[in-house]
Amino acid sequence: MGMSLFGQNAAPNGATIEVPTGFATHLRWIPRLGDIFPNFSIPYGDGEFHFHDWAEGSWVYFFSHPQAETPVCSTEIADVAAHGDELARRGAKALNISTDSAEVQQAWIAEIERIFGVTVDFPLLSDPEGRVVSVCDMVHPHEDALLCVRKGFIIDPSLRIRMIFEYPLNVGRDFEEVLRVIDALRATDHNDLVAPGGWMPGDPLMVSPALGTAAARDRFGARLRVLNPYMRLLQPPQTR
């Protein structure tokens, strides 16, 4: 898919973001499931952060928060940091962005680490002019005209958006759900399976309607349990 650089309207701090060709002139691009997440560059530390270079080949949880040095955001950053090993086991990593300045973020990270006893070892990007967060639909005027909502994307190793979460300013997120969705996506990709409501790792998956029962029996054998033509459970493999 062709990509067009929005460089002419880059933010004063040097942030740029690319969107699919055509959206730049007559439509506002909004991220949707199945889209390639746009590439962007933004100042970070002593250099520049390039999203595609950093993300490609890994599962990514990219999320925004409204404001540093606030109670709910602090608990969310601490929760993600506490699950760093869980992300790594899934071949995944976290990335955060907000309109806070880098200086405020650094002082805030130190406070989070002191209070919660965690190490915040994932990037917190600073987008003070809101260039990236606005294009990525992270600012909702009905919530706040300046601050990000609690928006999150699960992006797969091929850079496609696979899940979108949106929470209001006054309700914190449950990071366990992020892990559950990553597990479900990894378990069902490319094998005609789907994850039922409330699925957790170790629970039975279900056969997609796209695969007939006869073909499912051939593929899965005794692990398949047919309840009716569209309710077909796949028991997890036996472990020793």
Active-site annotation, residues: 73
In 3D space, the residue among 38, 41, 43 whose CA is nearest the CA of residue 24 turns out to be: 38
Q: Is 117 left (phi over 0), alpha (psi -120 to 50) or beta?
A: left
Compute the distance between CA of residue 18 and CA of residue 39 in angstroms, rounded to an integer: 5
In this structure, the dihedral spanned by the alpha carbons of residues 65, 66, 72 and 78, taken in order and rounded to 10 degrees, is 30
In 3D space, the residue among 192, 151, 201, 178 whose CA is nearest the CA of residue 82 turns out to be: 178
Show Cβ contacts of residue 164 under 8 Å, excluding neighbours closer than 6 positions.
Answer: 31, 32, 33, 151, 152, 153, 154
